[in-house]
Amino acid sequence: MKIYGYARVSSHDQNLQRQMDAFKEFGIDEKNIFYDKKSGKNFERKNYQRLIRKLKNGDLVVVKSIDRLGRNYSAIIREWKKITDKLKANIFVMDMPLLDTRMADGSLTNRLVSDLVLQILSFVAENERRNIIDRQREGIQAARRRGVQFGRPKEVYSPYFISVINDFDTGKITMKEASDKLNKNRTTIYYHLAKIKNYNEN
């Protein structure tokens, strides 16, 4: 039997350390820890899928909390069943000891309690994901009403920059001269030339 840890955060600037520390304390070998920095809305995650392919009968998957496994109610239930019923592996959720399939004694009561807890926590995880999306949408709408602009800022060209670009475009100077004057490479020169010409035409 092998013990694996699975950790997840939603974005690259979030920290995995709390989950990693919990796995270390549990005694999981570092080489058996898989993690993804991706949304929990589905299970199309590279390292989660690598973990699933490694699982054998009797192995154990440890997660810190159910929302680290995922945030989509139906997908969590489906993956849970795949791991426990199809692959015959076990799952332990550290923050909710009731969700530990190793403890199941086959009784109807224990199975019912475990299933109910799983469904409730899965629902809470998805509901929180939807709330986060709603709060982000409301924040963006409020910012737009205040005049905040989103997206890549528009290019602002100095008169000197435009003069050099125009000199190159009309053949007064070479590409090398334009590149040296602006400290830009060939591709960038053509990019800005197209932008300036498009602006002038409009």
Look up 10 and say whether it is catalytic. yes
**156-189: burial string, b at 16+ Cβ within 10 Å, e else:** eeeeebeebbbebeeeebeeeebbebbebeeeeb
CB 51 within 8 A of CB 107: no
Amino acid identity at 153: P
Percent of the chain with pLDDT over 90: 35
pLDDT confidence of residue 150: 58
Category of 6 on φ-ψ map: left (φ > 0), alpha (ψ -120 to 50) or beta: beta
Distance CA 67, CA 121 (A): 8
**pLDDT tens digits for range 167-180:** 998 889 999 999 89
Catalytic residue among 10, 39, 65, 179: 10
Point out which residues pair with 91 in neighbouring strands: 61
pLDDT band, residue 25 (cuts 50/70/90)? very high
User: Token digits for 159?
Assistant: 């008169």
Each residue of 107-130: b (16+ CB within 10 Å) or e? eeeeeeebeeebeebbeebbeebe
Nearest to residue 155, comparing CAs of 187, 193, 183? 193
pLDDT of residue 202: 46
Q: Phi first, then psi: give them for residue 117, nearest 5 degrees.
A: -60, -45
Look at residue 131 in the predicted model and tell me its pLDDT: 66
Total-model pTM? 0.59
Which H or E run contains 63?
Answer: strand 60-63
pLDDT tens digits for range 44-87: 999 999 999 999 999 999 999 988 988 888 888 889 889 988 99
Tokens 């890549």 identify what position?
152
Q: Is the pLDDT of residue 103 over 90?
A: no
